[in-house]
Structure 1
């Protein structure tokens, strides 16, 4: 059961969440002609009269870049302001997740991106831990990640997530928490909605963009934090066998944050995860606006009238 925030932004206005509805003939519903974003927010632990959003500008930039694949121009500055207004109108009191989505809102029947109306909406819901912070189990999915030559993987396009949905259900129904997808070259790609990191001999390793991964914002944050902490970072292809013998493995994403992996298939991973825990603790402090070195990653929204 989800606890949705009471106000949504829909068709250029703020309305009660239950009134934000689309037609069953909506183009995006039939053809996946949509792109979405996701960002987390929390009430400031030091000041309940304000909300903290993590990397608001970067999230808005990525969604607007994704919208270009749909033949839709959306200003990051406009989207930022709508999200700020959205938060102020909802005045959330718990950790929450914001979902903006751009989509083909026309009612046409032909698959196309030209000569069809576009629009976007924003809604939110309360959200705690998406995955267990104590560690999760993963299986290697039988499904393969799409290739950029046949799908715009630099965008967060909704149609791509059918593969994620298939892989997630396959994993859960076979006794695992999450799935790890390989790319068409047989290299480690990503999880169903998260990027993958491994640690070997003190080095932090993750697949590069040429491996058909999503340009994850949490991924970028982890790499930046690691470099600033003096942890060697490498972006390169990862083999399945290397994943199974890694010293540490974790997944990261907006919803998942940093989720340690304790088991892959039948292979148990070490319980000692010093680099994962160091990065996890650092990221948590940053999102709570307790780290002066990363103040520019946190957008503070005052809640008027509280």
Structure 2
């Protein structure tokens, strides 16, 4: 692919992306002992020499917390400083996605987190819409979301995403765009890499954090936005049958942004999505720094 940003942060320095390579014996490659973040950036529509990052502080904080699960002390301030310089180095001209990654970088075969070297890198890629903004079809996955008692689901641990990968491929190969995973209690958890919201009779429902979901930053933002504009948001367990009779269903995430669900299995949902569209428009205005109420959610970086 030729849309990767040209410069990566690797081994505590900035190098050409093509030179940022790891050994085939890297510990994290074999055991999934890594954790990642993801955030979007875009040129400010009012000032193309300025890049806007959405909720950079929260993303850095979450990655720092994810690193703790790997016994890696990586302060959020250090991550933020590296990301800011990463943007300066690349001078992006189009919307893009940043992928910071922490991992066990030693060469070895013993699965462990103690007495092993850890490292941190960053790369980026130009990115438009990850999912169709017109809506997606979803199947209920045969794979269940993991439980927090087996994996630390408060972090984006790389090894956990085998389940997401299996679910996504199962969905696509059976004619759907995306997968919805249930948890081990039989309740709706999340999609392959997104949180999920259900709207019924003007009220918004979403699974709470005790339903083995990722604590999504876009999810958190949308809950606050909805409440700020007078919508009721209820965090509670959601049954599969509620997806079928919902007025609206949408997915949320850094890559997916706000994406309406138009079909669940063989049940077609209403084509009119007024509240989903309202929240999507509101979030877009904030990420483009057009809403002064939420200016502290956008982190500007001057390219000059």
TM-score bucket (shorter structure): over 0.9
Deviations 1:106-126, CA, capped at 9 Å, x for gaps: 012100000000000000000
In 2, the alpha carbon distance for the partners of 1:193 and 1:163 equals 10
* Partner SS for 2:147: coil
* Partner SS for 2:143: strand
Deviation at 1:2, TM superposition (A): 5.0
Deviations 1:27-71, CA, capped at 9 Å, x for gaps: 000000000000000000000110000000000000000000000
Q: Counterpart in 2 of 1:37?
A: 37
- The 4+ residue runs of structure 1 with deviation greater than 3 A are none
Q: Does 1:220 align with 2:215?
A: no
* Partner SS for 1:214: coil
8 A contact 1:2–1:126 mirrored in 2:
no
In 1, the alpha carbon distance for the partners of 2:251 and 2:213 equals 13
Q: Counterpart in 2 of 1:100?
A: 100
In 2, the alpha carbon distance for the partners of 1:46 and 1:201 equals 38
TM, length-normalised to structure 2: 0.99
In 2, the alpha carbon distance for the partners of 1:162 and 1:149 equals 17
* Partner SS for 2:49: strand
8 A contact 1:2–1:125 mirrored in 2:
no
Q: Does 1:146 align with 2:138?
A: no
Q: Counterpart in 1 of 2:211?
A: 211
TM, length-normalised to structure 1: 0.99
Q: Does 1:283 align with 2:283?
A: yes
* Partner SS for 1:138: strand
8 A contact 1:108–1:116 mirrored in 2:
no
In 2, the alpha carbon distance for the partners of 1:135 and 1:149 equals 34
Deviation at 1:243, TM superposition (A): 1.1
Deviation at 1:8, TM superposition (A): 0.2
Q: Counterpart in 1 of 2:170?
A: 170
Pairing of 1:223-238 with structure 2 (within 5 A) = 223-238=223-238
Q: How many residues in Structure 1 have an aligned counterpart in Structure 2? A: 304
In 1, the alpha carbon distance for the partners of 2:109 and 2:271 equals 53
Runs of at least 5 residues in structure 1 that lack an aligned partner in the other structure: none
In 1, the alpha carbon distance for the partners of 2:170 and 2:199 equals 26
Deviations 1:102-145, CA, capped at 9 Å, x for gaps: 00000121000000000000000000000000010000000000
Pairing of 1:71-82 with structure 2 (within 5 A) = 71-82=71-82
Deviations 1:158-201, CA, capped at 9 Å, x for gaps: 00100000000000000000000000000000000000000001
Pairing of 1:2-21 with structure 2 (within 5 A) = 3-21=3-21
In 2, the alpha carbon distance for the partners of 1:149 and 1:84 equals 35
In 1, the alpha carbon distance for the partners of 2:46 and 2:154 equals 37
In 1, the alpha carbon distance for the partners of 2:205 and 2:287 equals 23
Q: Counterpart in 1 of 2:70?
A: 70
Q: CA RMSD in A?
A: 0.5
Runs of at least 5 residues in structure 2 that lack an aligned partner in the other structure: none
In 1, the alpha carbon distance for the partners of 2:219 and 2:192 equals 14
Q: Counterpart in 1 of 2:265?
A: 265
